[in-house]
Amino acid sequence: MPLSHYTGLTGLSDDLPVKAGLLLVNLGTPEAPTARALRPYLAEFLGDPRVIEYPRWLWRLILHGVILRIRPPRSAHAYQRIWTAQGSPLRVGSEALAAALQETLSRRLPGPVKVALAMRYGQPSVAAQIERLLRDGVRRLLVLPLYPQYSATSTGSVLDAVADSFKTLRWPPELRVVNDYHDDPGHIDALARNIEDWWRVHGRGDRLLLSFHGIPERYTKAGDPYFLQCQKTARLLRERLGLDPAQLVVSFQSRVGREPWLQPYTDATVRELAAQGVKRLDVACPGFAVDCLETLEEIAMQNRDFFVEAGGQELRYIPALNDSQAQVDSLAELALRHMQGWPERGA
């Protein structure tokens, strides 16, 4: 039996250059679009107390007794609609973003830098990627959750995973964290340019809808800043695009359960806009750094159908920033600001 619960590295040398590390963290994805692959993924995701704030004993009964029996086949069908030959769009897009950031930061930082991608749920895990970075010589680590707006359900959960990983390390690295970047000027400009570029090719619709992921209202009342940060992102983006308040609408998607979530709801909003006579509706999702199930299936497919059934002609989804040069540049600038002074010794 080992005498210690702590993981350490051997063969260390004081002569090695200090490497900086950037750990990108996204939500996660199942390994395959099947009910069998969805069950462990959903169990990990929905079992996170940051995500579902119910009494643990009660939620475990609901989760394992009801939800994990019903939801995996439904979710698998949704994933099958967007799955590609390369795999999960979220994983493929996140990996491409990480690779582009690696190339950009390697050119711009004065010393060695290593970029890694982790998933909060599923693989590769936060703990595994931190260990990999340490084995690559990283002693200064910046964690960048790919959630522009902070919520305890997203960024807060990433910080929990990082803390749990650090608890097991004999010699944790120096740590910095990007808490949020909802009002970062470079990020707002990247969002605006992405929309403007799309409009130049496809023309502009009658209205622009910004759909953010929702959280229960009670989380906001308990002090979660997510709603306020979403509203600020929307205001700054509207101002940057030069739109009147009536031309841009904000809504919240992906609610589950019966309790009130942040409103107005996206599905109700697209139906209401269609009933008001809006024929062409453009939808962007500024809370998602990379396209995923919630954008490609829920918005571009489900809500498109809701809009047309309610009398609209066309709902047009504007893709996320993904690995576009605009996003790579804005996140690189964000990382460089947080990495000021890294690395110095051995550069």
Task: Give the CATH number of the domain where residue 152 resides.
Answer: 3.40.50.1400
Q: Does residue 42 lie within any of the structural domains?
A: yes
Q: What's residue 13's pLDDT? A: 59
pLDDT of residue 18: 80
In a domain, 346, yes or no: no
Do 24 and 116 touch, CB atoms closer than 8 A?
yes
Does 213 belong to an annotated binding site? yes
Same domain for 92 and 158, yes or no, is: yes
Which burial class, exposed, middle or buried, applies to 135 when counting CB atoms under 10 A from its CB (0-12, 13-18, 19+)? exposed
**Pairing assessment for the beta strands 248-253 and 174-177 based on DSSP bridges:** unpaired
Query: Are 93 and 165 contained in the same domain?
Result: yes
pLDDT at 342: 85
pLDDT digits (tens, 9 = 90+) for 179-216: 999 999 999 999 999 999 999 999 999 999 999 999 99
Quick one: pLDDT at residue 347?
A: 45
Report DSSP letters for 138-188, one per residue. EEEEEEEES-SS--TTTHHHHHHHHHHHHTTBSSPPEEEE----TT-HHHH
123 and 218 share one domain: no
User: What amino acid occupies position 193?
Assistant: R
- In the prediction, which pLDDT does 77 show? 98
**pLDDT at residue 3 tops 70:** no
pTM, rounded to two decimals: 0.95
Residues spanned by the domain of 298:
185-317
Mean pLDDT over the full length of the chain: 95
The number of CA neighbours under 13 Å toward the Cβ of 138 is 25
Same domain, 102 and 62: yes
Let me know whether 142 and 203 are in one domain: no
Residues 109, 175, single domain; the answer is yes
Residue 1's pLDDT band (cuts 50, 70, 90): very low
CA dihedral (234, 319, 39, 69) positive or negative: positive
User: Percentage of residues in the chain with pLDDT exceeding 70?
Assistant: 95
| 147 and 28 within one domain | yes
Give residue 55's region: left, alpha or beta (phi > 0; psi -120 to 50).
Answer: beta
Percent of the chain beyond pLDDT 90? 90
- Same domain? For 199 and 332 the reply is no
150-186 pLDDT, tens per residue? Answer: 999 999 999 999 999 999 999 999 999 999 999 999 9
Mean pLDDT of the 88-113 span: 95
Mean pLDDT of 34-52: 97
In terms of Cβ atoms closer than 10 Å to its own Cβ (0-12, 13-18, 19+), residue 312 is buried
Tell whether 117 and 238 lie within a shared domain.
Answer: no
Determine, yes or no, domain membership for 9.
no
**pLDDT recorded at residue 7:** 79
Strands of the sheet containing 19-28, edge to edge, are 113-121, 19-28, 138-145, 174-177
State the residue for tokens 């047009």. 316
Task: Please tell me whether residues 333 and 203 are part of one structural domain.
Answer: no
In a domain, 96, yes or no: yes
Tens of pLDDT, residue by residue over 235-294, are: 999 999 999 999 999 999 999 888 999 999 999 999 999 999 999 999 999 999 999 999
In this structure, are 172 and 228 located in the same domain?
Answer: no
Give the per-residue pLDDT at 248.
Answer: 98
Q: How many domains does the chain have?
A: 2
CB within 8 Å of 323: residues ≥ 6 apart: 93, 96, 97, 99, 100, 290
Examine the domain organization and report whether 55 and 83 are in the same domain.
Answer: yes
- Assess if residue 345 is contained within a domain: no
DSSP E strands, the chain: 19-28, 113-121, 138-145, 174-177, 207-213, 248-253, 280-284, 314-317
Is the pLDDT at 15 greater than 70? The verdict is no
- Please indicate if the annotation marks 294 as binding a ligand: yes
Helix ranges restricted to H, 167-253: 185-202, 217-221, 226-241
Record the tokens describing residue 146, joined without a space.
């790919």
User: Could you tell me if residue 116 is inside a domain?
Assistant: yes
Q: How many CA atoms within 13 Å lie on the side-chain side of 295? A: 26
Is the pLDDT at 346 greater than 50? The verdict is no
